Amino acid sequence: MSKRTKADPISVGIIMDGNRRWAKAHNLASKEGHSAGRTKAKEIARHAFSHGVGTLTLYAFSTENWNRSVTEVSYLMQLFSGALTQELEELLKEGIAVRFIGDFKRLPKKLRLSMESLEQRSAATTTGNTLVIALSYGGRAEILAATNHLLATGKKIVNEKDFSNALWSRGIQDPDIIIRTGGEKRLSNFLTWQSVYSELFFTDSFWPEFSNKEFDAILQDFTTRIRRRGK
């Protein structure tokens, strides 16, 4: 069994849920909730990296989210494009590397090119901190993609290392913690392979109102948990 010390860099995944319900509760349009969620993402990322988090993975848009209305999906794509040129560029200048994971085929070409550019420039970062954006992402889709990739290379028998190296998230630390805001208590196809030993935290706070104080309380709770990993 192992117990984390505050000196250990950790990996945190966040399911940023509740933007639309937060907007409704404040008599605002859904897009206002998404905009507030974008602002919150930058705030929490900066706070997390200054408090012992080495890797932060944000679930921004799932494979299932493509089933939302054309108007909402179009607005979200615009929001992501804006985040690339503003918030993510700011974080990159602060030495934070940026990675993207997901099935990008359905994303607008201009957005994909901007993502590739940001990732390439991230190679020069030196802080060791990495922000991972799960965009058009689904855990099952990732597993199927890895399986088909391995079959295409002629593999007939694979081990866990082979499989992990075929995932979109290859090279990214598995999450020690997964947080879901918004009151729901499920993982909703997020990091299905990688989350098998994650410590799970659920909060009723909608994502735009999730606070640094609440994040700190989760990190503190995590230090008390004993992780046996089957031993």
* Residue among 17, 19, 176, 189 flagged as catalytic: 17
Give CA–CA dist 104/145, Å, rounded.
Answer: 12
- Distances, alpha carbon 176 to alpha carbons 24, 52, 147, 156, 223, in Å: 32, 12, 24, 31, 11
- Distances, alpha carbon 11 to alpha carbons 34, 52, 150, in Å: 24, 9, 27
Mark whether 65 is an active-site residue: yes
* Residue among 8, 19, 65, 165 flagged as catalytic: 65
Q: Letter for the amino acid at 2?
A: S
Give Cα 148 to chain centroid, integer Å: 24
Element (H, E) at 226: strand 226-227
Which residues have a catalytic role annotated? 17, 65
